[in-house]
Structure 1
Amino acid sequence: MTLYQTVADRRTSRLSTMDIVAVVAGSLLLTASAKIQVPFYPVPMTMQTLVVIGLGLALGPVRGTAAVALYLAQGALGLPVFAGTPEKGIGLAYMTGPTGGYLAGYLPAAVLAGWLAERGWDRNAATAMLAALLAGAVIYVPGLLWLGNVVGWDKPVLAFGLYPFISGDVMKAVLAAIAFPAAWKWLSHKGIN
């Protein structure tokens, strides 16, 4: 059971208004996290990976992935949801650039984080951190493969697309390891879980 399922009244398995609100709110949070960035070339460092993993951990694999998919759909339609996009956005052109593979990696990362949360990995610091690190690593697979195809394999792809982000990802995993067990503890004190 995820945090969302614990807090939401889960008397029915059908899609509820609360589910829709959670998915839309998740996509908006992901948009906000894209705007918090440290400029890097060719891929900016943002808080998106923390939010993607957090959505999976909090909402579970289905709702978390739906929030990420909605965010990607908004970007594909040209809304200015991505890091560094102008007010009108640039849609699919942005998604086929250097960050495209990382964006694609958000979907399996949310699925994995949510799947691990359903198994209780978000309830203690060690497994929450491991869940965040594993889900974060999933993002790099399509991200680095795509980046290599875009910038060319003759370039130092790992130096551009992996090494600068490792320390930030570890810090994001530490934040997840603090936040999610704390949320479960708080719910327990409130008698909710």
Structure 2
Amino acid sequence: MSTAHGMVLSEALGPRDGTALRIKQAVLVVLGIAVLAIAAKIKVPMWPVPVTMGTFAVLSIGAAYGPRLGLATILGYMIIGALGFDVFAGSSAEAAGLSYMMGGTGGYLLGYVLATVALGALARRGWDKSVLWMAAAMAVGTVLIYLPGLYWLGTLYGWDKPILQWGLTPFLVGDALKLALAAALLPALWKLVGTARG
């Protein structure tokens, strides 16, 4: 495992200081927000419910960007959503902005922020360079998304309701597949970076 001061993937590519670095970071934030918005709208047919790619994008960007740039990106995404733009998985022209964010999905959106920072911090410790460690990091991020998500559902609708059936169990199969995909992707990208430098 690398030290806490190790590089994340976005830092290993392109400029590393000066104005060029700031430009690279700004481009990455804009690109990351676009990827998050597009991924949220992608639905892959799956049993028992279709899988959206939003969580995959959140966790992958967190790991690739690191905690600070990842946080800037996810907050930018949230701000755009709060302004009423249709960037969330369940948002639409009729349901968007703060009213949508304070609905049933609000806890999960908070979880996105927590998971992005956590994945960035774990990636800085080198967890993104190994499939097993990356899978563990993804599992941590997934838990951080679900905990506030389920808590908010229970608070909003009442704990006598089938909260787990609403907000957890239908999504576990899809989340396991996304976890496996991201766990393979980041270490593979690191190998490509290493090969390119070699």
Length-normalised TM-score, structure 2: 0.89
| DSSP 3-state at the match of 1:176 | helix
Unaligned ranges ≥5, structure 1: none
Task: State the Cα distance separating 1:90 from its structure 2 match.
Answer: 2.0
- Residues in 2 aligned to 1:143 and 1:84: alpha-carbon distance in whole angstroms: 14
Task: Tell me, yes or no, if the aligned pair for 2:15 and 2:21 is still in contact at 8 Å.
Answer: no
TM-score by length of 1: 0.91
Identical amino acids, percent of aligned pairs? 45
Deviation (angstroms), 1:125: 0.6
Tell me which residue corresponds to 1:82: 88
- Aligned residue number for residue 66 of structure 1: 72
Gaps of 5+ in 2: 1-6
> 2:175 maps to which residue?
169
Return the offset for 1:163.
1.1
Structure 1 residue 66: Cα displacement: 1.1
The root-mean-square deviation of aligned C-alpha atoms, in Å, is 2.2
> Counterpart of 1:94 in structure 2: which amino acid?
Y
Partner AA of 1:166 in structure 2: L
Match 2:113 to one of 104, 107, 112:
107
Name the structure 1 match of 2:147.
Answer: 141
Task: Using the TM superposition, give the Cα deviation of residue 109 of structure 1 relative to its aligned residue in structure 2, in angstroms.
Answer: 0.2
Task: Tell me the amino acid that sits aligned with residue 16 of structure 1.
Answer: R
2:22 to 11, 16, 37: 16
Partner amino acid for 2:189?
A
* Matched pairs, number: 190
Query: Structure 1 residue 54: deviation in Å?
Result: 0.5
CA pair 15-181 structure 1, distance change in 2 beyond 3 A:
closer
Which residue in the other structure is 1:123 paired with? 129
Answering whether residue 166 of structure 2 is matched by residue 160 of structure 1, we say yes
